[in-house]
Amino acid sequence: MLPYVKQLTRVLSERLGWNRARMKLMARLMRALPMQTTTNLAQLAHAGKPQVETDSTYRRLQRFFAEFAFGYEALGRFLLDLVPTSPPYLAVLDRTEWHFGQTPVNVLGSC
């Protein structure tokens, strides 16, 4: 496991209390997302753990998103904990519309 994934797993475990397999999967996903130009799970599966068969990791990601209910309040607190506590701050808004299956998802439009 890459050092960056180990660090993310440790940070996730300190704040979210998920089981280790879910934390490692989320850490790999967080590492893979910035490296990809898409949110396609098949491509993220390959980027997240290239030494494992892509189909296996793809099914694992599908189960993660289909069966696991996020504690959005805890996840929000975790994300806020990652924000620097002293200025200067930089805020960035992204109006990208994603699709979850056939359903359009626009976070700014649904707030």
12-64 pLDDT tens trace? 888 777 888 888 888 888 888 777 777 788 888 878 777 778 888 888 888 88
Question: By residue range, what is the domain housing residue 10?
Answer: 3-85
Question: If pLDDT is split at 50, 70 and 90, which confidence band does 111 have?
Answer: very low
Domain annotation covers residue 101: no
Question: What's the confidence (pLDDT) of residue 74?
Answer: 74
Crossing angle of the two packed helices 41-48 and 20-32, in degrees rounded to 10: 100
Is residue 94 assigned to a domain? no
**Residue written as tokens 């959005």?**
72
pLDDT of residue 22: 85
| Structural domains in the chain (count) | 1
Q: Where are the alpha helices (DSSP H) in the chain?
A: 3-16, 20-32, 41-48, 54-67, 72-81
Does the model's pTM come out above 0.85? no
Structure tokens, 91: 């805020």
